[in-house]
């Protein structure tokens, strides 16, 4: 099946799922066999375009339909996110740049929480589109600087706020903070805030980081463009690192306030939960520097 045929089947099937009565048309009466759902003419009317214009799209004969038009079609035909993605791919050859649902990426299915918490021996976590931690395992939580004698805990629920604004991150945990961490992370935040202007958490972070006397000048430097850290390796201290049996303990203190930690390199392996565009799943591979 080629893209044109796939587009035809998708749009025809979605039309059959909508009762015209729900959109204000009178209920059909009288004898005779009638097709189910909306007609092409009815879809065109709701879209405020000619029947021919919509028919050209459904036949796959519309040359380069605009993203705005495809989004209107997706809304009228009540498409789910995955169906809208298919519409873009069949009509344009690529996926939509941002989700249709403004809340996309702000949560993940409960199964992700169980899956992440069940991982042992490898730090991993899921964050939403605004870097709020949605799920994390104990190995990830133990990575952060810890006060001696206290149970391991997350210093912040929001990773961007911690990485860019907190002294623990800037002075102790994230090595070579400005170049290796702050510059790419700030660029990520700029891109995310621009892509999601209605996300209150991102807009709040944008304001806080911009106003910070240390992170602000870095944030306002637009010469660095950066989208995601998949495959990146950076120096950091791992507070929960345990040497293998028989190996010499190389841990030391970054300061008098924190427990022992191990200097090393963390490589970030990132993926996206398909059901939550914008959220991210991370495996963190840590290698100690001996």
Structure confidence by residue, pLDDT tens digits, 100-116: 776 778 888 889 989 99
List the structure tokens of 285.
């591979």
Cα gap 66→71, rounded to integer Å: 9
Question: What are the residue ranges spanned by the domains of the chain?
Answer: 3-92, 110-288
List the structure tokens of 58.
């459904």
Superfamily of domain 3-92: lambda repressor-like DNA-binding domains (1.10.260.40)
Same fold, 3-92 and 110-288: no
Given strand 262-271, what is the order of strands in its sheet?
133-136, 124-127, 280-288, 262-271, 233-238
Cα gap 104→230, rounded to integer Å: 21
Beta-bridge mates of residue 264: 236, 288
Q: 152 near 138, Cβ under 8 Å? A: yes
In terms of Cα–Cα distance, which of 187, 281, 195 is closest to 203? 195
The pLDDT value given to residue 107: 85
The pLDDT value given to residue 256: 78
Q: Which residues of 185-218 are buried (b: 16+ CB within 10 A; e: fewer)?
A: bbbbbbebbeebeebebbeebbebbbeeeebeeb
Residues with Cβ within 8 Å of 63's Cβ and at least 6 positions away in sequence, in order, are none
The pLDDT value given to residue 240: 85
The pLDDT value given to residue 230: 82
C-alpha dist (Å) from residue 290 to 28, 91, 176, 247? 78, 54, 18, 11
Extract the residue ranges of the chain whose pLDDT is less than 50.
32-33
The pLDDT value given to residue 106: 82
Q: Which fold has domain 110-288?
A: Beta-Lactamase (3.30.450)
Global pTM? Answer: 0.74
The pLDDT value given to residue 158: 97
For residue 132, which phi and psi values (nearest 5 degrees)? Answer: -75, 135
């Amino acid at each position: 099946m080629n893209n044109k045929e796939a587009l035809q089947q998708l749009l025809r099937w979605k039309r059959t799922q909508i009762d015209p009565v729900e959109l204000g048309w009178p209920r059909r009466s009288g004898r005779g066999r009638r097709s189910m759902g909306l007609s092409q003419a009815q879809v065109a009317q709701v879209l405020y375009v000619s029947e021919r214009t919509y028919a050209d799209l459904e036949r796959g004969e519309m040359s380069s339909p605009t993203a705005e038009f495809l989004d209107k079609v997706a809304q009228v035909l009540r498409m789910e996110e995955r169906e809208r993605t298919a519409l873009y791919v069949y009509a344009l050859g690529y996926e939509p740049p941002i989700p249709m649902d403004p809340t996309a990426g702000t949560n993940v299915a409960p199964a992700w929480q169980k899956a992440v918490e069940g991982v042992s021996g490898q730090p991993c976590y899921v964050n939403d589109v605004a870097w709020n931690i949605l799920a994390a395992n104990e190995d990830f939580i133990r990575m952060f600087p810890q006060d001696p004698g206290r149970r391991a805990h997350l210093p912040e629920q929001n990773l961007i706020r911690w990485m860019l604004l907190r002294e623990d991150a800037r002075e102790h945990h994230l090595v070579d903070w400005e170049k290796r961490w702050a510059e790419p992370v700030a660029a990520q935040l700029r891109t995310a805030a621009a892509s999601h202007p209605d996300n209150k958490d991102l807009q709040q972070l944008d304001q806080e980081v911009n106003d910070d006397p240390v992170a602000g000048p870095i944030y306002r430097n637009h010469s660095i463009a950066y989208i995601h850290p998949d495959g990146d390796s950076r120096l950091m201290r791992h507070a929960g690192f345990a040497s293998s049996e028989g190996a010499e303990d190389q841990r030391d203190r970054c300061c008098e306030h924190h427990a022992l930690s191990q200097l090393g390199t963390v490589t970030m392996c990132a993926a996206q939960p398909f059901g939550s565009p914008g959220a991210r799943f991370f495996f963190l591979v840590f290698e100690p520097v001996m």
